[in-house]
Structure 1
Amino acid sequence: MMNSSGSTNSPFLNILEYLKNMLHNDTATENELLNYFYGPFNDLASPKTPQRDQIVLYTAPIVYVVGVFGHLMSFLILPYFAKKESSYVYLLFLSIFDLLVLNVGLLIRWLHEILGVNILSFNDYTCKMLTFLGLLFSDTSVWLLVAVTMERFIILYHPFRATLICTVRRSLMIIFFLVIIIALVNIHVFWTLEIVVDNVTRQKNCDSTVDSNALIYQAWPLIDSLIYSILPFLSTCVLNYKIIQKIRHIKSRNRNVYSRRFSRGTSDQKIPKVEKKLTITMVILSVTFMVTTLPMLIYLCVTALLNSLAKQPIFSHQRYRYFRSFAELMMYCNHAINFYLYIANSRRLRLWFRKRVFRQKAEKLVTGNQVLEKQEYSSRFS
């Protein structure tokens, strides 16, 4: 197709014209041909100018505000329950670490997009410390969910031992040692990361040291996916499967006993309503974690694979960057919505939330003829 000036607008016709000229030109080299045809693919391989990530720019503040509000509200209700039940100790610290993840991770990521300033790249101290804290907070949050799921498993399968194992003091000890272990796993960032100046753009980036490129770009994505996603994913899958199986078994046995009008006395295991609700909440939290962290798991595995290849395939880096942004936001959603899952699945948390927020008297929060405090804090296995 020709325009009014007689020049061709079709890229295909331009290519044919270029080939015709090259065939009549004995001095044309192979590099000239490759450079001509590589141009369109080079645009896919790396953007020439940095562009704002629209996904993070407009979605991150919504996730951040929703998450921060929810965790601040959880601090109104969870401390009261954490004084008496170890499961709520885990949930309280889960909210604390989720809030830290949103501030150290998502907030800094959004400020980078909106202001064009990467706080991690200010100096070596911010590079190392903020990266370490981000890994520490996110990994601890995930493993706290595994810990509380394990406690639900122990309560169902070993109810008599649970009175000794699942205590507030023991849960605090477990959280302390969990933080220490995760800190030791991630402490390598203090000598594997540093501020690196790009030779072309002269920009400072928080990147790996020369001696640590193999660890950071090839081994660490796999290790990180193992710690943050794969092991917690498999653990919660197995534990939740066993928990659901046990609940169904107890329900089926109790129905059979009732249908035969035969009571087995104290040998029958019954799940108190409070314990059943809390267990269901833990299952929902675990399933939500598995769904929201799956894209990040895929991203980490693909990144490790690409970094291990001697010659990487040509693909759209922009689309790859968009998938990373999507995976990040899904991951941060996991750290933002836990409070809403608590409230949606626990009636006593809703009642206590109403009491704290609207300053209602405890006597008004009744179910039948019993007030909240008397109803909800009967014996764990009664």
Structure 2
Amino acid sequence: MTEDHAEPTASFTELYGYAPEGVWAAPGRVNLIGEYTDFNDGFVMPLALPHTARAAVARRTDGELRLHSTDVPGGVVSLRVDELAPHQGHGWAAYPAGVVWALREAGHPVTGADIQLTSTVPTGAGLSSSAALEVVTALALNDLFGLGLDRAALAVLAQRAENAFVGVPCGVMDQMASACCTEGHALHLDTRDLGRRQVPFDLAAHGLRLLVVDTRVKHALGDGAYAERRAGCEEGARLLGLRTLRELPYEELDSALDRLAGAGAGDSVVRYVRHVVGDNRRVERVIALLDAGDVRAVGPVLTAGHVSLRDDLRVSCPELDLVVEAANAAGALGARMTGGGFGGSAIVLVEEAAAEAVTGAVLDAFAGAGFGAPGVFAAVPSAGARRLV
């Protein structure tokens, strides 16, 4: 048994006094392109990271739900499955508890469980550590209780847990990426109908590397900003007579922006619409480039995406901007912030031979600006959620 398997199994047994029925893993993700588009029925293109949340789990039949995390100080959180209700707090435990609630609300007979969780997904880095917790819980319970749900259905239930139980109005990308990504590929996801295609993304074969730069900062400005931008996008769609911004073709964007201005839409709504429709187009552009084998040309598209996130959506921050500026100045092919913004991580596409120099340039720039050192690692497209034992 590998260490990856042994650690949660051993700690589960030590904690609960008996062996788990199995161990499952679900990865974090980094999004290559397509930001703030998923709640607009748009396109996204995430890839799974090798970093995972792991869960050792056993069923209970007495209605008790016991949760423990090796990553959070404190003991076991004990809850009753028939008393679970949204917005009751529970801290980190709200994510797995919310999955149990969502499954039961959907009519699935989950009668309790003992769950031991541990994770290597960096928290607060915009790499979907919460979605990994949700998906690993959903997959384990699906297997143990024989629910027969496919990966997409599990992702949707996990999203419902985060939206309705935890109270975070996220789209479905994070959960779909954790549940459905495959090794060596990026996931082209149409969030309108959950149509998906695994796009080969073997950077090493092209002599390239995708770096993730975790700024290790989270600005308070981000609190509530996601919901505000979602509301602004919905307002833009309403003023244009559309169900969602996905219905607005890129070719009609300029005329639509003029119509919004004429209808009295605020400047922020106009900017949000421009970003979302533009980022949908950028996802399509990246796919076309990858299909044509022109991987290096993806770099400028990433940088253009960052400019839009910085100037139109206004969700960047000095640290993220510095990553992009320093990396591109040092010879990167392109870079952008990824995730919700106001901190978190950026991605950098580099020639493999230049990875060390670009990393050094980013570290030097942070030191020169008086920022704390960021974490840097290579994003290797990895497998989605799976059973380990």
- TM interval, shorter chain, is under 0.3
- Structure with the largest fraction of helix: 1
Pair member with larger Rg? 1
TM-score (norm 2): 0.25
